[in-house]
Amino acid sequence: MLLPDDEFFMRRALDLAVLGRGYARPNPLVGCVVVGPTGTILGEGYHQQYGGPHAEVNALASVADQDLLRQSRVFVTLEPCAHHGKTPPCADLLIAKGVPEVIVCNDDPNPLVAGQGLARLRAAGIQVSTGLLAEAGRQLNRRFFTFQEKKRPHLVLKWAESADGFLAGPHFQQVQISGPQAQLLTHQWRTEEAAILVGTRTALHDNPRLSAREWPGPQPVRLTIDKNLALPPSHHLLDGSQSTIIYTYRERADKPNLTYVALPFAPPGAPPSPDLLPAVLTDLHARGIQSVLVEGGPTVLNALINSNTWDEIRVFRSPKRLERGVAAPRLGLRGWHSQERVGVDELFSYINE
């Protein structure tokens, strides 16, 4: 039975879960709070790192008087697991500790769990409630839910455009459009997504590093589409400094930190299809990459927008004017989800609902 303060405890669990961002992946973000018989928090924890103890393990272990667990209520943001992965099932731990009640924010869509954890708890006589602050939980773990439900990575499209609607100079001439605060925020975003993608011309003309150099956190897997392996060996994407995947029509042997993926885009004897993206997304799903920050160029961005294959769009609009150049994507959307100032730029955010 839910009580008046229960939303407060679940919000605390959600706040804890955020602390694992970037480090828990590909596992979801999970927080857990243990509330004692007098309504005070006895322990709390979150999933800190992939392969490490889950949130429930950390929270239960933090309770000083373990005997109180038999009189406590446990708030957890995602259904406790019921399978052996990197760690034992959390459902079994809750049962072993004698916890009488568990309140869950979201059911787990992962087929390895998918209701089995809740069923195991109920079969042991534990009172289980679900759905408390469910929308907030889905927002927190939107990458995980997209990956499980849509069978592709969560796609965040990002670009910077001038006040007159250009994202590069004539002939893809590289131009610094966004200000320093926007660039810093972009580096933070790179640590929050599992991978970062650019198309062929962006890789060729900009020679990007696609790394998070200005913000602490894990580096994303670098992705690019290089149909005919035109990138020169001197380009940063081929330097082996971080994990990189090149999607191509051609075969080439892998190198340290550099994987070449030649996908069968057309029947034997037929010309290669220009529509690479569905095959790329299928391959990324198979590799367990749950989210991708797509930073260009216009061909990739427009293809994803036109096929409605995106989840979030973030656009920095600069006060600068270029007068001519490569046009930024045009969004046929009724309005933005949010707008905020980031330094000299305006950030417009869109959600595909």
- AA identity, residue 241: S
Q: Which tokens hold the place of 146?
A: 């997209």
Residue 196 CA, distance from chain mean position: 11
Q: Could you confirm whether 7 is annotated as catalytic?
A: no
Residue 271 CA, distance from chain mean position: 34
CB of 197 within 8 A of CB of 295?
Answer: yes
**Alpha carbon distance 173, 178 (integer Å):** 15
Lookup result for tokens 């667990």: 69
The length of the chain is: 353
The H helix count followed by the E strand count for the chain is 10, 16
Cross-strand pairs, 339: 348
> Which residue spans within the chain are E strands per DSSP?
31-35, 41-46, 73-78, 101-106, 127-130, 154-161, 166-168, 195-198, 221-225, 244-248, 258-262, 291-294, 312-317, 326-327, 338-342, 345-351
**Alpha carbon distance 314, 188 (integer Å):** 13
Catalytic pick among 7, 44, 56, 193:
56
* Rg of the chain taking only CA atoms, in angstroms: 23
Alpha-carbon dihedral angle through residues 103, 105, 110, 115, given to the nearest 10 degrees: 40
**Alpha carbon distance 133, 136 (integer Å):** 5
**Alpha carbon distance 44, 77 (integer Å):** 12
Q: Which tokens hold the place of 343?
A: 């330094």
Q: Which residues are catalytic?
A: 56
